[in-house]
């Protein structure tokens, strides 16, 4: 069965390049990003892992741990990581799950048999500190993911978890937000002292609350 938004992220124990982990214990109170790679020693994955390693501080700033997965064994991961460091200029600095028995891939529905029986697709799961799945993405093997987009969605998820706002099309951190329809204008006066522009009664645009001085209250 596929994993849907709001589901608890299935727990598992697995061998990784940084030792055996229990996934939920490893996550602790952090947010998490679990992403799969079709296979070791493949070119697109090599570039993705180099980029993920370079961007690890950006994830850490947001209290997000990142973890990769590929259906090859640990010794293969270790050898591949040397190539990644050599070609991408950054050592892989987060755990890579060695899922040679496909236990985790099957648990998370990362193998799509009509695409490939043997490779995983490029799955991404963003998991909140409550262990609930907040985002799922599925890319084809031939298309590398955009890790800036992952950070953008995480910024939105973390903002909307704390304030009564949603984020509009192409939003990025610092842009105006939308007051959720469940908040009345009466309540909005208190929650959004910077005010809002009402384009329609259901479309009220307000400055990003955590960037407005004195607008510190949560949802």
Binding site for ligand BEZ (CB under 6 A): 38-39, 42-45, 119, 141-142
Q: Tell me how far apart the alpha carbons of residues 203 and 185 are, in angstroms, rounded to a whole number.
A: 12
CB of 118 to ligand BEZ, least distance (A): 10
Q: Per the structure block, which two tokens stand in for 72?
A: 């090859």
Of residues 46 and 156, the one with the C-beta less far from ligand BEZ: 46
CB of 89 to ligand BEZ, least distance (A): 18
CB of 46 to ligand BEZ, least distance (A): 7
Backbone angles phi, psi at 19, to 5 degrees: 100, 175
Closest among 173, 124, 178 to 147, alpha carbons compared: 124
Strand partners, 138: 123
Of residues 30 and 100, the one with the C-beta less far from ligand BEZ: 100
Of residues 80 and 108, the one with the C-beta less far from ligand BEZ: 80
Mode of pairing for the β-strands spanning 64-70 and 96-98: parallel
Q: Does the annotation mark 177 as catalytic?
A: no
Of residues 17 and 42, the one with the C-beta less far from ligand BEZ: 42
CB of 210 to ligand BEZ, least distance (A): 37
Q: Are 44 and 142 in contact (CB under 8 A)?
A: yes
CB of 187 to ligand BEZ, least distance (A): 49
Of residues 37 and 204, the one with the C-beta less far from ligand BEZ: 37
- Calculate ∠ Cα 22-63-211, nearest 5°: 160
Q: Per the structure block, which two tokens stand in for 107?
A: 């648990």
Strand partners, 200: 203
Question: Which entry of 9, 34, 45, 124 is annotated as an active-site residue?
Answer: 45
- The residues, ordered by sequence, that sit 6+ positions from 66 with a Cβ below 8 Å of its Cβ are 32, 33, 35, 52, 56, 59, 94
Is the dihedral angle over the CA atoms 7, 128, 134, 146 positive or is it negative? negative
Task: Give me the active site residues, please.
Answer: 45
């Amino acid at each position: 069965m596929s994993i849907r938004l709001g589901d608890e992220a299935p727990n598992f124990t697995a061998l990784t390049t940084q030792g055996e982990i229990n996934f939920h214990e490893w996550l602790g109170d952090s947010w998490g990003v679990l992403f799969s790679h079709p296979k070791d020693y493949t070119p697109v994955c090599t570039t993705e892992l180099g980029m993920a390693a370079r961007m690890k501080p950006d994830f850490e700033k947001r209290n997000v741990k990142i973890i990769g997965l590929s259906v090859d064994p640990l010794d293969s991961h270790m050898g591949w990581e040397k190539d990644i460091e050599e070609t991408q200029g950054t050592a892989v600095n987060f755990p890579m799950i060695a899922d040679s028995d496909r236990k985790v891939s099957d648990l998370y529905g990362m193998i799509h048999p009509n695409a490939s029986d043997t490779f995983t697709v490029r799955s991404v799961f963003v998991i909140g500190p409550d262990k609930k799945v907040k985002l799922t993405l599925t890319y084809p093997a031939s298309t590398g993911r955009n890790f800036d987009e992952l950070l953008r969605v995480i910024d939105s998820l973390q903002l909307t978890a704390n304030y009564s706002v949603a984020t509009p099309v192409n939003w990025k951190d610092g842009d105006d937000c939308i007051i959720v329809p469940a908040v009345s204008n009466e309540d909005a006066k208190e929650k959004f002292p910077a005010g809002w522009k009402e384009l329609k009664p259901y479309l009220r645009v307000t400055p990003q609350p955590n960037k407005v001085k004195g607008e510190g209250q949560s949802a």
